[in-house]
Structure 1
Amino acid sequence: MSGGFGANGTVAYKAGLASRSMQKVDVLVVGAGLAGLRTARLLAQQDLDVLVVDRRRVLAAGIRTTGIFVRRTLDDFDLPEHLLGPGVRDVLLYPPSRRAPVRLTSDRDEYRVAEMAAVYEHERRAAESAGARVLLGVRYVGASRGLVRLEGAEAVRARFVVGADGARSRVARDLGLDVNRRFLVGAELVHPVAQGTAAPAFHCVLDPRVAPGYLGWVIDDGRHAHVGVAGYPEAMRAGVRHLLDAFAADAPGRAAPIGPVERRGGPIPVGGVLRRLACPAGLLVGDAAGAVSPLTAGGLDPCLRLSELAAAVTVAYLRTGDQRVLRRYDGEALRRRFRGRLALRRAFAGIRSPLAAEAAVQVLRSRAGRAVAARILFGDGSFPAVDAHPVDAGR
């Protein structure tokens, strides 16, 4: 009888209590960005027990996206109208000389810039209303065999883990899934502007001296101005902050701030959707999955589309236990649909001199060039193109 009350017995007893009291969830979502919160919301709406953790204490901290939503996203998803700025129809493409830009004008609102901190809070409330729990100030430490270690909260047992933890995902490594290896690094200044001083417009500068392999941009929707640069980190020898400040000093379309200036920045995966996105222990969404257009570096539309597919596959898998369901979340199949974008990304990366950039913009002045640019900037397609309702998955 004394065996249960000796030193070893006490340890075993306490361990048994801890095991019995450990929180168990159906799905743990790591990361409370747009992809993580949207996936959590969709899962909770299907009566799954969902917990979201994020190391940030407030969702307004560490925003890394410009917040540009394209028309096809606005048409297909329930984004809060009051959090979106005025529509933008004009895009101006500049060579390094900044002279004689190519202007493209749509007959529809093609872009709207969102207040992303407020969008995250909206998504958080929607996820919680659906039944998900969201814990901020909790850092994911690691996962093994369903046990997820956290810093700032007790460990949990999760049937499935969703990695929505950004371009350099720790969850991807722990689950043995693919990781992003090709990045741009971006930086941006955001500030309010006086309303009515200029028509909303999106200014894009192709200049490898400030944005090697990508471009500099100014998007002014009449409420806020976003001024940014991005490029391959190994080519940004002067440093992204220095290049941003130099670009912002004379960027076309810039407007003087009338309020505080916010800085944003971070890595942007541009290698395309990763091939191995899912395993029986979990899957990846958003930047963690490489769900960013390799050509335009836009990530908001693909993150929402892939989140819908991820939620549908997760629900089907947890309800059936059939691992064949996970084949529906196949990065290789998604990659096959955007080979053209990857080819254009390689071509874009090859523009290394101002003379080459001037020539590239000159090509866009032609009728064919303008048609290609308009198709990229104003197109109706989505990236990645996914079927968000795999009702027959696993059959």
Structure 2
Amino acid sequence: MRRVDVLVVGAGLAGLHTARLLAGRGLDVLVVDRRRSLATGIRTTGIFVRRTLDDFDLPGHLLGPGIRDVLLYPPSRRSPVRLTSERDEFRVADMAGVYAYARRAAETAGARVELGVRYAGPAAGGARLAGTEPVAARFVVGADGARSRVARDLGLDVNRRFLAGAELVHPVAPGAGRAPAFHCVLDPRIAPGYLGWVVDDGREAHVGVAGYPGAMRGGVRRLLDAFVAAGPPGHPAPAGPVARRGGPIPVGGVLRRLACPAGLLVGDAAGAVSPLTAGGLDPCLRLSELAAAVVAEYLRTGDERVLRRYDGGALRARFRGRLLSRRAFAGIRSPAVAEAAVAALRGRAGRAVAARVLFGDGSFPDVRPDAVGGPVTRSRSG
């Protein structure tokens, strides 16, 4: 049986970032992922918001041009509400490249990353890995996605509220001449409880839909195909190969019970996704930093009280407004109500609210470990 300090299950952005930070603190870290290539099974659109770009060292050569314009469309697709920021608010990443970059950073820090290795559950004194010898780990980090098996095996909370999402990605024809823009369609017929989108940054176009699975007649893939066939706003003619992505998006907020003496959860497994906007890249990086600090201190001291600092309940309290907004959003089930909702955004107050959600800094609180109590949260606007 191999022995390590920390076993990280899942080599997504949350798992690799946590592994890098733990290895940088001198811990023996092993990351496993059932995928044989990090370029496969990508589920995120890859939209990084300004706050993440400001606070984290991301590889600029893997990020598309800055996007400042957001257009909000009602079901009729007429008279969209246009919001324009004075700053670049979004950049779409080459996520296969970002994962490769994050893997190199983790390995440079000393972590080992093994692909094509599936976590198969707990074993006496460690974890079973399909096709290889078990691993004795002092601690397990579950970074294995929205439907985390690690969470179940550790007896931690699990996500129960999801959106189902799917999108097409294709390169934009050279010389199209469109300014980068983020088009959002509020239409419960194709995206009940959420929206359809087109993100065109002049290099690639991402066309997608997401909504509550139980309200999606025929399934998310059929609705995506119908959305594309109808000619969504700003949709350029495909040029070159088309990639499909999709998967569950947890939108119930950060889970309450995130840690126990055997392990903890990060990323989608922890519900670290903005309940309203469904953005998960910024939350996964921020929560991973707190997780790494807590794990390192716990393994150094053996004091279980350290784990209380990784308190999902305290973080969840910062999401009350967005959780309420998520419930209101979920209640928009008719085109007429959606038309009225977009119309309400045309006034000064409505535009201010929309700009605060889309351009604000409050999608996830700042978190940092505190030597005395729980996580210190420093909220910006939002």
Shift of 1:391: 4.0
Name whichever of 279-288 and 152-161 sits farther off. 152-161
2:12 is matched with 33
Tell me the C-alpha RMSD between the 2 structures. 1.2
1:356 is matched with 337
1:110 is matched with 89
Counterpart AA for 1:226: H
1:158-177 pair list within 5 angstroms = 158-177=137-156
Counterpart AA for 1:191: H
What do the CA deviations read for 1:198-221 (whole angstroms, capped 9, x no partner)? 000000000000000000000000
Give the secondary structure class of the aligned counterpart of 1:376. helix
Counterpart AA for 1:153: T
What do the CA deviations read for 1:225-244 (whole angstroms, capped 9, x no partner)? 00000000000012111100
1:336 is matched with 317
Report if the CA contact (8 A) 1:313-1:393 is conserved.
Answer: no
1:326 aligns with 2:307: yes
Counterpart AA for 1:49: D
Counterpart AA for 2:339: E
Which of 184, 189, 205 in structure 1 is aligned with 2:163?
184
1:17 is matched with none
1:64-79 pair list within 5 angstroms = 64-79=43-58
Question: Unaligned 5+ residue runs, structure 1?
Answer: 1-21
Report if the CA contact (8 A) 2:164-2:213 is conserved.
Answer: yes
Q: Distance in 2 between matches of 1:170 and 1:343?
A: 28
Structure 1 residues 177 and 121: alpha-carbon distance in aligned structure 2, compared to 1, 3 A threshold:
same
Shift of 1:144: 4.4
TM-score by length of 1: 0.93
2:39 is matched with 60
Q: Distance in 2 between matches of 1:390 and 1:340?
A: 25
Q: Distance in 1 between matches of 2:168 and 2:325?
A: 27
Which of 283, 286, 291 in structure 2 is aligned with 1:302?
283
Shift of 1:173: 0.2
What do the CA deviations read for 1:80-101 (whole angstroms, capped 9, x no partner)? 0000000000000000000000
1:9 is matched with none
1:230-241 pair list within 5 angstroms = 230-241=210-221
Q: Distance in 1 between matches of 2:244 and 2:106?
A: 28
Counterpart AA for 2:236: A
Shift of 1:392: 4.1
What do the CA deviations read for 1:40-88 (whole angstroms, capped 9, x no partner)? 0000000000000000000011000000000000000010000000000
Counterpart AA for 2:108: S
Name whichever of 154-163 and 253-262 sits farther off. 253-262
Shift of 1:195: 3.9
1:138 aligns with 2:117: yes
Q: Distance in 2 between matches of 1:312 and 1:382?
A: 22
Give the secondary structure class of the aligned counterpart of 2:26. coil
Counterpart AA for 2:169: V
Q: Distance in 2 between matches of 1:344 and 1:152?
A: 45
Shift of 1:393: 5.5
Give the secondary structure class of the aligned counterpart of 1:374. helix
Which of 80, 87, 91 in structure 2 is aligned with 1:101?
80
1:127 aligns with 2:106: yes
- Give 1 or 2 for the bigger CA radius of gyration: 1
Q: Distance in 2 between matches of 1:35 and 1:207?
A: 31
Report if the CA contact (8 A) 1:309-1:390 is conserved.
Answer: no
TM-score by length of 2: 0.96
Report if the CA contact (8 A) 1:41-1:130 is conserved.
Answer: yes
1:345 aligns with 2:298: no
Counterpart AA for 1:237: R
1:208 aligns with 2:191: no
Shift of 1:338: 1.0
1:377 is matched with 358
Q: Distance in 1 between matches of 2:223 and 2:217?
A: 9
Which of 253, 260, 264 in structure 2 is aligned with 1:279?
260
Aligned length: 373
Counterpart AA for 1:152: G
Report if the CA contact (8 A) 1:26-1:48 is conserved.
Answer: yes
2:378 is matched with none
Name whichever of 193-202 and 323-332 sits farther off. 193-202
Report if the CA contact (8 A) 2:274-2:363 is conserved.
Answer: no
Q: Distance in 1 between matches of 2:212 and 2:124?
A: 37
Give the secondary structure class of the aligned counterpart of 1:297. coil
1:14 is matched with none
Report if the CA contact (8 A) 1:230-1:240 is conserved.
Answer: yes
Name whichever of 231-240 and 189-198 sits farther off. 189-198
Report if the CA contact (8 A) 2:123-2:134 is conserved.
Answer: no
Identical columns (%): 81
Shift of 1:386: 3.6
Give the secondary structure class of the aligned counterpart of 1:213. coil
Question: Unaligned 5+ residue runs, structure 2?
Answer: 375-382
1:81 aligns with 2:60: yes
Counterpart AA for 1:66: T
1:6 is matched with none
1:23 is matched with 2
What do the CA deviations read for 1:15-63 (whole angstroms, capped 9, x no partner)? xxxxxxx210000000000000000000000000000000000001100
